[in-house]
Structure 1
Amino acid sequence: MLCDALRCATFHHVTPNGTAIRALREARKLSIRELARLAARDPSHLSRIERGLAGASQSALRQIAVALEVPVAAINREEAP
């Protein structure tokens, strides 16, 4: 994952496991819009996360995990900065 020096030094990179998020969302019979509403996220960004086209902050992952009723570890992959 590419980033500028300030961001790399300041933030921990989190790559969501979009496949897991989608599987959990579908198992709960939630649409992307419903999950986005529950997690206070933008539906289009959530769609990009699921498709592996966007990352997410740790706080966003926590909100998604809470909405899916799973631990954060179930939906993320951590990368070294």
Structure 2
Amino acid sequence: MKAIRERTGISLQQLAKDIGRDPGYLSRVERDQQGAGAETLHLYADRLGVPIAAITHKEPPSDQDQPGPRDHPH
């Protein structure tokens, strides 16, 4: 989450102000020290202009976007 926010050029303080959340809370969420509710996640993603999946997946977005064969058990 933090990497995506930083790529958008939005500070943690500005994001917190924009979505009505405490900066300390968002910092803990970004560091995976605290969970976030669905509403907060949606506000966060909407403010950054990314799909909710971009901030809820653990893999870096670049890994998800790579085309290629997928391993499927047979």
TM-score exceeds 0.5: yes
CA contact (8 A) 1:25 1:68 kept: yes
1:47 maps to which of 27, 31, 47: 27
Q: How many residues align?
A: 57
Match of 2:48 in 1: 68
State the identity as a percent.
42
The structure that has the greater radius of gyration is 2
CA RMSD, Structure 1 to Structure 2 (Å) = 1.0
2:50, 2:20 → 1: CA distance?
16
Runs of 5+ consecutive residues of structure 2 not aligned to the other structure:
58-74
CA contact (8 A) 1:40 1:63 kept: no
TM-score, scaled relative to structure 2: 0.71
Name whichever structure is richer in strand by fraction: 1
Higher relative contact order (CA 8 A, sep 6+): 1
1:38, 1:66 → 2: CA distance?
11
Deviation at 1:37, TM superposition (A): 1.3
For 2:12, the aligned partner's letter is I
